[in-house]
Structure 1
């Protein structure tokens, strides 16, 4: 049984990341090369730090340290140790279920950032029986999970978006009408984007494509078309500068479904349009403006949209619900509610 918390204490929250290849901290966002999931975990943790005492357990971390995002600890063989009011597990449902057995009096959440594959069909029943709440990162993500698991096996779920920095705004940077940008890991459809760009450039030969690859995954993408330059892993401020200068974020690939797609939201936040295949993953939810949607299988649509944007750049904006201040409040409400329920049960027992 957990000790009864004093009213003035900040609730203790453990965030368990069994998927990370190495430890990570806030400076890694600015340095570049950090995945969107890890960056989201750190941003949310830093925003909640005044109200919650957060400890991270990260797979691949070897040294404990303090951070604005909380205490950063190695994930040992037995997982987190200590008294916590809530446990948040990144992606691994079996880890969440194991922790529920180990900490029966603690609120446990599964923070899902991926679409589960066929071998995970048992997860719904296991999570539901364990009383674990699943946090999805978009409504599209949640609907997929409901269909994948079927209604009878669907555990309790909530949707909390990944966060955009509140300060991201258009700043009047001139756009280069010849410059397109792809800014994702290459496994997210870069081979297809190369083919789409080569077809497009045959019609508009002065176009270029800059590729910002965070570098955390090597992926074979085939021949590189003429007009492509590689930027490598960029710091977050540098990436935003490239976004501001580009005609658009060029992302009409049709194969990799995003559960959220933070770079899509960031592009719109700085006023840059996104050329995106609307009928895939959460694209249509995150980029709600249909003028930014194309059929990625149709080269004529892609060409027509690029030509139109070269003549007149569209005005775009981000969804206020994606802003860090809004997202952090939803997290605070969720965790506070869970802690209040657990405290009530402790008193009752």
Structure 2
């Protein structure tokens, strides 16, 4: 890989890197990209190009970050190009770089009109890398015969995340996602649950990248705002569970679920929604969250076991070292498909 790999991010709202503080206010997609790129940089040249970046080249964590001009070929002439979330940009880069392997790294569920771009991906030899098996299966069903090659690589969690013996507070629940991911519904279900368990509190950590209406905030909610990653992990260690009983927003992976489980914190999730069942590491975390009695019964069981018992455990296949090795193999071995020439 003389030209290395270039990750192209045409959708992030602002430039970012692995420099201290550079990911503040952004989501799991950007932090995952930085983790993967920094791990790969030990084995190959890695660049990240961003439409939102106007500053000169920045080097952080062994990765080069630079601006992106989609009107002309990338000057580094990479062997591999990984486009974040844009089915529209990938065929354009495939035309500009006929000798490169081009992939779309898909962290979202595309809308209907975006899915119509799939034949162009197939014609230009572009494959799709999903972040979970469930997302990949959904995409295959949606696209049918129009589907290009689709695979998946899970998003990574840190290698050293593990339970550390911190006592769990039987009255502390935690929501740690952007409010558009069902927080209004979580508030409703927390308020009903609090009738049965009046001492419950719900801490809400908001990464702050999207302002979203959530309606009235119930009594017992503790707004934490934006937390650093170490502070968030500390709350996960203390909380009875990650409280996520909503059936409106489907996660393509659910990084906070994997991180919470890795430190022994169970996640109360809606069964069959997105990647919930795939990512949850222990039994009993995925239930029918439209059933208030089922929610109350599961919380009662976990409260009875607190504070000492971890309810979940780390998953080795989500560890950064494992995920980075998958990426390295994928970038070396994915075959180039036949491309359209126009």
- TM class by shorter-chain length? over 0.9
The residue that corresponds to 2:303 in the other structure is 310
Match of 1:181 among 174, 185, 200: 174
The residue that corresponds to 2:229 in the other structure is 236
Please tell me whether residue 254 in structure 1 is matched to residue 250 in structure 2.
Answer: no
Secondary structure of the 1:140 match is: helix
Please tell me whether residue 224 in structure 1 is matched to residue 217 in structure 2.
Answer: yes
> Per the alignment, do residues 299 and 30 of structure 1 end up closer, same or farther by CA in structure 2, a change over 3 Å counting?
farther
Please tell me whether residue 297 in structure 1 is matched to residue 293 in structure 2.
Answer: no
> Per the alignment, do residues 269 and 35 of structure 1 end up closer, same or farther by CA in structure 2, a change over 3 Å counting?
same
The one-character-per-residue Cα deviations of 1:251-293 (angstroms, maximum 9, x if unpaired) are 0110000000000000000010111111200100001433111
Secondary structure of the 2:71 match is: coil
Counterpart Cα distance in 1 of 2:64 and 2:115: 34
Please tell me whether residue 125 in structure 1 is matched to residue 140 in structure 2.
Answer: no
The residue that corresponds to 2:257 in the other structure is 264
Structure having the larger proportion of residues in helix = 1
In the TM superposition, 1:51-200 aligns within 5 A as 51-63=43-55, 64-78=57-71, 80-150=74-144, 152-200=145-193
Please tell me whether residue 33 in structure 1 is matched to residue 29 in structure 2.
Answer: no
The residue that corresponds to 2:199 in the other structure is 206
> Per the alignment, do residues 222 and 278 of structure 1 end up closer, same or farther by CA in structure 2, a change over 3 Å counting?
same
How well do the aligned residues superpose, as a CA RMSD in angstroms?
Answer: 1.7
The one-character-per-residue Cα deviations of 1:270-329 (angstroms, maximum 9, x if unpaired) are 010111111200100001433111211011111111111100145311321111111000
Counterpart Cα distance in 2 of 1:31 and 1:65: 14
Aligned residues: 332
Give yes or no for contact 1:193–1:252 (8 Å, CA) kept in 2: yes
Secondary structure of the 2:301 match is: helix
Give yes or no for contact 1:26–1:69 (8 Å, CA) kept in 2: no
Query: Per-residue deviation at 1:31?
Result: 6.6
Show structure 1 runs of 5+ residues with no match.
none
Give yes or no for contact 1:264–1:274 (8 Å, CA) kept in 2: yes
> Per the alignment, do residues 292 and 51 of structure 1 end up closer, same or farther by CA in structure 2, a change over 3 Å counting?
same
Please tell me whether residue 282 in structure 1 is matched to residue 275 in structure 2.
Answer: yes
Counterpart Cα distance in 1 of 2:239 and 2:19: 26
Please tell me whether residue 337 in structure 1 is matched to residue 337 in structure 2.
Answer: no
Give yes or no for contact 2:282–2:313 (8 Å, CA) kept in 1: no
> Per the alignment, do residues 27 and 237 of structure 1 end up closer, same or farther by CA in structure 2, a change over 3 Å counting?
farther
Secondary structure of the 1:218 match is: coil
Query: Per-residue deviation at 1:335?
Result: 1.0
Counterpart Cα distance in 2 of 1:143 and 1:220: 32
Give yes or no for contact 2:281–2:314 (8 Å, CA) kept in 1: no
Counterpart Cα distance in 1 of 2:23 and 2:331: 30
Normalised TM-score (structure 1): 0.91
Counterpart Cα distance in 1 of 2:255 and 2:221: 23
Normalised TM-score (structure 2): 0.93
Match of 1:215 among 208, 213, 219: 208
